[in-house]
Amino acid sequence: MNLSEYQKKAATTAIYPDMFEIVREFSEQHKDEFVMFADLIGTIDSKAWAPHIPNLYYPTLGLAGEAGEISNKVKKIMRDDCGVVTDEKREDLIGELGDVMWYLAALATELGIDLDEVAEKNIEKLFSRKERGKLQGSGDDR
């Protein structure tokens, strides 16, 4: 399976809160307190602006959370197992890496970006750095 195929299949399993609905419901419950907020986003009853605001918060926070779970598992492997990755720990990490992949695919989908394009551009960047002897160091523009 390539990344685009994965992204399309993963998208069929995406169920997460709609930001417009969250804002609308919260605003309706607190409308007396948030008159200024309503003025900032326009008429709360109108969905005209909603399609232009992708649901970036949910997959972004999920991606960070899952990356944190991987970090925590690796920390425990280093602390408790002297860095030895058992078959059981490897399976746990495969599961967490899959979760990272799902949230990455969801975020790319929300942005209208194909994961194959992300992978291609990343490899181009890395090989350019390799050719120029710039794999090490810091900064995006090296």
Higher per-residue confidence, 78 vs 110: 78
- What does the alpha-carbon distance between residue 19 and residue 36 come to, in Å, rounded to a whole number? 19
The reported pTM is 0.73
The yes-or-no verdict on residue 79 having pLDDT over 60 is yes
Span 83-119, pLDDT tens digits: 999 999 999 999 999 999 999 999 999 888 999 999 9
Q: What is the token pair recorded at 6?
A: 């994965």
Q: Which CATH class is domain 3-16+55-131?
A: mainly alpha
